[in-house]
A = this chain, B = another copy of it.
Amino acid sequence: MSHEQYKNCIEECLKCMQECNHCFDACLKEKDIDMMRDCILLDRECATLCSLAANTMSINSPFVREICELCAKVCEACGNECNKHNHHEHCKKCAEACFACAKACRMMVA
């Protein structure tokens, strides 16, 4: 598969990476930070995996499938956590980006 074919999946990964990072930053500033512990951890993990997946696809690595599958799992975990706090705009947007990215990764693997 060429990097052209990866295009949509790379874009979703890079959007998700950014939303996870914004959410990480915003969670660290929330009054109710006590409730955001898991969200902060998963935001970091998910940004890392999305970044890795985008890099992996764009160097056309032989491990694209494995990494996208893992990325989808981490995105789903992060999206589910963020959804518990979707009264925070940043968590709501992050959850949406996570589920969109998970979907794109799963389609790529299929």
Contact = CB atoms under 8 A, between A and B. Distances in A.
Number of copies of chain A assembled together: 4
A59 to B, nearest CB: 4
Which applies to chain A's interface (DSSP): helix, strand, loop or mixed? helix
Contacts of A100: none
B17 A41 contact: no
Contacts of A49: 63
A77 B61 CA distance: 12
Interface in A72-110: 73-74, 77
Contacts of A17: 54-55, 58
A29 B37 contact: yes
19 contacts: A3-B18, A3-B22, A10-B18, A14-B14, A18-B54, A18-B58, A21-B55, A25-B41, A29-B37, A34-B34, A44-B59, A45-B59, A47-B59, A48-B52, A51-B55, A63-B74, A63-B77, A67-B70, A70-B70
